[in-house]
């Protein structure tokens, strides 16, 4: 995989790389007001089906005259980063907060044969059946209690 090798004053410090890396970054930030400088090696990984996480390899102070070398190399054995903000147990979105009635006809669970919960609404079996029927008619005129929905032109 593509890695970033960071050498400071000729001394190998880190070989930044990780599977599922989205970005790898080496930065040198100087704070002239504080007479300080920092070398930071980090990146972002995007595990499948999970939120992105910060990967961190190195934060090192730097002084006047320091030489920072960054080499782009291919390696299968990079330094393991420490990770932040990773959610290993991605939880399903709770459905508790949604109104416990059919979002289409407004019926309550006790009045219908069964309900399906989506992320933001529920739907009863009867409405599902109606939607299914409409879908199967494939563009045909939909009529309900005398109201014609189609043929508006
Ligand atoms: Zn319904």
Q: 117 alpha carbon to ligand 1 midpoint, in Å? A: 12
Q: Is residue 153 part of a domain?
A: no
Return the minimum-mean-pLDDT range out of 6-15, 31-40, 92-101, 144-153: 144-153
Are residues 44 and 6 part of one domain? yes
Q: 153 alpha carbon to ligand 1 midpoint, in Å? A: 29
**Is 0.85 topped by the overall pTM?**
no
Q: 89 alpha carbon to ligand 1 midpoint, in Å? A: 33
Distance CA 120, CA 37 (A): 49
Are residues 101 and 36 part of one domain? no
Are residues 105 and 70 part of one domain? no
In degrees and rounded to multiples of 5, residue 89 shows phi and psi of -120, 70
* pLDDT tens figures, 82-94: 877 544 444 444 4
Q: Is residue 86 part of a domain?
A: no
Q: Is residue 85 part of a domain?
A: no
Are residues 70 and 8 part of one domain? yes
Are residues 42 and 102 part of one domain? no
Q: How many domains does the chain have?
A: 2
* Res 67: pLDDT: 94
In degrees and rounded to multiples of 5, residue 75 shows phi and psi of -150, 145
Provide the domain limits for residue 100.
92-138
* Distance in Å from the first CA to the final CA of the chain: 60
Q: How far is CA 10 from the centre of its chain?
A: 38
Q: 152 alpha carbon to ligand 1 midpoint, in Å? A: 26
Are residues 50 and 101 part of one domain? no
Return the percentage of the chain with pLDDT > 70, whole number: 80
* Res 11: pLDDT: 94
Last residue of a domain, one of 78, 104, 124: 78
* Res 140: pLDDT: 54
Tokens 């782009």 sit on residue: 72
On whether the CB atoms of residues 30 and 82 are closer than 8 A, the answer is no
Q: 104 alpha carbon to ligand 1 midpoint, in Å? A: 5
């Amino acid at each position: 995989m593509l890695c970033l090798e960071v050498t400071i004053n000729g001394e190998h410090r880190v070989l930044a790389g990780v599977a599922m890396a989205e970005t790898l970054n080496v930065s040198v930030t100087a704070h002239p007001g504080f007479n300080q400088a920092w070398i930071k090696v980090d990146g972002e990984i995007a595990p499948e089906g999970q939120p992105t996480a910060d990967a961190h390899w190195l934060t090192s102070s730097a002084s006047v005259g320091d030489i920072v070398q960054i080499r782009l190399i291919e390696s299968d054995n990079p330094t393991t980063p420490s990770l932040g903000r990773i959610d290993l147990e991605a939880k399903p979105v709770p459905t508790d907060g949604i109104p416990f009635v059919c979002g289409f006809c407004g019926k309550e669970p006790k009045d219908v044969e069964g309900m399906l919960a989506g992320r933001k609404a529920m739907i009863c079996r009867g409405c599902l059946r109606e939607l299914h029927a409409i879908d199967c008619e494939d563009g045909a005129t939909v009529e309900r209690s005398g109201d014609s929905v189609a043929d508006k032109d």
